[in-house]
Amino acid sequence: MKELICGFLLLFTVWCSSEGDIEQVDNITNPIEQNMLVVNEEKKAEEKKLSDIKIEEDKKNAKILADKKIEEEKKLAELKRIEEEKKILHIKTPEYVQSLYFTAYAMWSKDRYNNLLSISKNTGVNSVTIDVKTVTGYTSFDFDNSKFGKIKPVSDWRITEIKEKIKELHKKWIYVVWRIVVFKDNLLTSKRPDLAYKWSYNKNLVWNDYSWNKYLDASAKEVWDYNAELASQAYEMWFDEINFDYVRFPSDWKISKIYAPFSKDIIAKYWNLWKIKVLDNFSTYFSKKLRDKHPEIILSADVFGLVTRWDMNWIGQNLESFLLNFDYVWPMTYPSHYWAWTLGFSNPDNHPYEIIKMSIQESNVQINRLNKEIELAKLEDRKVKLSNWLEAGINTSEVWNIDNSQIRLWLQGFTCTRCKWATPYNSYKFKEQTRALTDMWLKSFWVWNSGSRYYQSRYK
């Protein structure tokens, strides 16, 4: 019994000792645990803070990406709108074009404008050619002058709301051509006489013809760039084709007394062909500059009707050079403008059928010769040579065979009051011109009437 009691007391003592040890351990470890808890809490708080910051950054980045995507979508939508607008606001060149010349004043006239719409609706006429810059040098409406160099266009505001007018014409499927007079410019020659031709006997005095019209030097690159910017902006204003008139030297009065300050080197090198070389240089530079900016732009140029027969060195026009650089060439084949005894007729104005047919036949001869020369130049890897043996400026790799339809004739739509023994230009004489076109398998033509007065019966 005594041994049992002693064993019990021993166990009790050990248990008491164990409790004391546990209490002592608890007293030692609690502060550490508390510190660890504080550290853990701070760590969690820091992690939460970093997490919150990351969430905010992710939100910001997501917003930036979303905004960027929206901006890109807007840009794509705008580009698509512009492309769609181009498709709508530039009519593709029709298979044939029958166009009436309209002055800016005629476009402003309600009666003449409505007459154009009526003729277009009831006949084969499907185009209008509108004056935008004439020999006066003024433009018919405003341009964005900030895009020009030193030369700024000046408008006389003869046409208002030009885009709305073109939209209306396009809705009726009327092909709109823009006509610009290039080197005959009375305004610019007065503002910038340094760019004009001078008298050879007085190089400080601007040259003029018998009507006191003045011409810009066709070698002045500043003049090229000015007219190129006009054409570029006109295309952006939805004109379907850009037509250039007076791409030539003066033809009247004392042309032998002209001093051309920008052409001295070319004159020395090319002698009697220097004017053709100047215009070839202009045409090559000009068309390339415009096509580099607007690959789908359609360019055309007017030439004298006699250029279908031979080179006109004194005004610088060679048909082949123009065909190489422009999409279409428009010879001004007005029967009244041919010399007496052309084709044996004392008064060619009274023989419209024969004059028009001859012009087409002779231009076809030049086109055939040019196409053979293009093939040979490609084969020999050299420049194309014009009919006068001048080298064309355009790269041969950029040239392809010329089609006969690239010739479009200006037809006479007026009575020549100065032509002796000429009869009035009635419906019969006009239709003789179009009959000649039909017999030569052509349908396109332009009609010139300086007052823009046209009669529907002639086009049926």
- C-alpha distances in angstroms, 161 versus 141, 156, 168, 234? 8, 14, 11, 13
Which of 90, 153, 445 minimizes the C-alpha distance to 295?
Answer: 90
Helix (H, G, I), strand (E, B) or coil at 244: strand
Give the per-residue pLDDT at 50.
82
Residues 265-283 have pLDDT tens digits of 999 999 999 999 999 999 9
Dihedral class, residue 344 (left if φ above 0, else alpha if ψ from -120 to 50, else beta): left
Tell me the pLDDT band of 87, cut-offs 50, 70 and 90: low
Confidence check: pLDDT of 431 > 90: yes
Residue pair 252/210 in contact by the 8 Å Cβ criterion: yes
Domain ranges of the chain: 34-89, 96-459
| Least confident piece of the model among 51-60, 123-132, 240-249, 435-444 | 51-60
Confidence check: pLDDT of 185 > 70: yes
Ranked by mean pLDDT, which of 20-24, 67-71, 316-320, 336-340 comes out on top?
316-320
What is the C-alpha separation between 455 and 118, in angstroms, rounded?
Answer: 10
What is the C-alpha separation between 91 and 456, in angstroms, rounded?
Answer: 24
Confidence check: pLDDT of 12 > 90: no
| Least confident piece of the model among 1-15, 212-226, 259-273, 403-417 | 1-15
Crossing angle of the two packed helices 352-380 and 427-439, in degrees rounded to 10: 30
Confidence check: pLDDT of 296 > 60: yes
Identity of residue 460: K
Burial 137-166 (b: 16+ CB within 10 A, else e): bbbbbebeeeeeeebebbeeebbeebeebb
How large is the average pLDDT for residues 370-377?
97
Give the per-residue pLDDT at 221.
97
Give the per-residue pLDDT at 10.
47
Number of Cα atoms under 13 Å in the Cβ half of residue 51: 6
Dihedral class, residue 246 (left if φ above 0, else alpha if ψ from -120 to 50, else beta): left
Give the per-residue pLDDT at 19.
46
What is the C-alpha separation between 69 and 63, in angstroms, rounded?
Answer: 10
Percent of the chain's residues with pLDDT above 70: 91
Give the per-residue pLDDT at 52.
82
| Least confident piece of the model among 34-48, 116-130, 191-205 | 34-48
Confidence check: pLDDT of 41 > 80: no
Tell me the pLDDT band of 6, cut-offs 50, 70 and 90: very low
Q: Label the pairing between strands 258-259 and 198-199.
A: antiparallel
Tell me the pLDDT band of 85, cut-offs 50, 70 and 90: low
Tell me the pLDDT band of 360, cut-offs 50, 70 and 90: very high
How large is the average pLDDT for residues 419-438?
91
Mean pLDDT for the chain? 90
Give the per-residue pLDDT at 410.
98
Confidence check: pLDDT of 25 > 70: no
Give the per-residue pLDDT at 1.
52
Ordered alpha helix ranges (H), 90-181: 104-108, 110-122, 162-171
Confidence check: pLDDT of 199 > 80: yes
Give the per-residue pLDDT at 306.
94
What is this structure's pTM? 0.81
The CATH superfamily holding the domain 96-459 is Glycosidases (3.20.20.80)
Burial 395-409 (b: 16+ CB within 10 A, else e): ebeebeebeeebbbb
| Least confident piece of the model among 87-96, 174-183, 268-277 | 87-96
